[in-house]
Chain A
Amino acid sequence: MSSIIIIVLGIIMLGAAFITIYLKNLVAAIISAGVISLLASVIYLVLGSPDVAMTEASIGSALTTVIFLFALNKLRKENKND
């Protein structure tokens, strides 16, 4: 049962990774990269390591996504000023 969940989540993660690479819309690409981390944390939970799952969910999917969005916002503003 758990291996089916892991395989399905792994396929979705691969899809999200390809979306991240090929999407032209940068905000959507950042969100899609966050989805990869979120699904990875679910896989860690299924494999029985809640400590790692918590780290992955909080740092990988929440904080990294937000910092990428802030950086994108900063870059756009600086491009406008030039």
Chain B
Amino acid sequence: MIKNVLVVLALLGLLVMFLPIVNNFQERSELSELATDYVNGSIKDLNSPNVVTSVIVTYRGLDTLGEVTVLFLATLAVGFLLKKKALKTEKKEATENLKTTSTFLAALVMVLGIYIFSHGHLTPGGGFQGGVIIASGFLLLILADINLKINHTIIQLVESFSGVFYVIIGAVGLVLTIGFLNSRIIPLGEFGNLFSAGSIPIIYSLIGLKVGAELTNIIDTMEGE
């Protein structure tokens, strides 16, 4: 009884807190000063059609580095707490149809993931989304093909090398005195091409590989009994 009353009181408190925000909400007819700067700068200075990507990778690059670090720590914690136990129960072998179809589909899913992170500066999406899609391709393989063994050495190598290169690319900007993680360290290229927008596609590909490797590791650790 008291619990329910407290829940209702908490909800009423939230309502009181949020009501002024809802009441004072006014739709803006034009972008704020900072947003105008980002939209213009993304096209003029960085040569990237996708403004969201240029904000995530260049203008707020340090935040993205922190986000990648958080995901890395989460993977470490999952791997540390959920060690694979040696006991293995006998499972039924997957049928030939299931194996063939899932291998074929997983290849398509992974190609889609690679497309999404390498075209992050041109179309919606980017490193995180592409990485998750690659991990879901591996999930399909793990679920369908029971005897699949994922090579953890390769996963760790991909994960750590992409992380190191990400930081190195950021530090090159410091050496050239443009700014940490600034994408103008290499020529910007032609607007709208795959190889354009400076180092944005390189950084996003590295993030995609890193996220894909980490999430594949988490799924593999969670699934193994």
Residues on A lying within 8 angstroms of B by beta carbon are 49-51, 54-55, 58-59, 62-63, 66-67, 70-71, 74, 77
Contacts and interface: CB of A to CB of B under 8 A. Distances in A.
Interface centre among A51, A62, A66, A71 (most CB of B within 10 A): A51
B196 interface: no
Contacts of A49: 52
B132 A59 contact: yes
Contacts of B223: 70
A67 B133 contact: no
Given A70-B223, A74-B222, A74-B225, A50 B132 contact: no
B52 A51 contact: yes
Interface residues of B, number: 20
Chain B interface, DSSP helix/strand/loop, else mixed: helix
The main secondary structure of chain A at its interface with chain B is helix
B22 to A, nearest CB: 14
B180 interface: no
B136 A67 contact: no
5 contacts: A49-B52, A51-B50, A51-B52, A51-B129, A71-B222
Contacts of A54: 116, 124-125, 129
Contacts of B136: 58, 62-63
Given A55-B129, A58-B129, A77 B225 contact: yes
Given A58-B133, A71-B222, A74-B222, A66 B128 contact: no
Contacts of B132: 55, 58-59, 62-63
Contact of A50 (B124, B139, B219, B225): B124
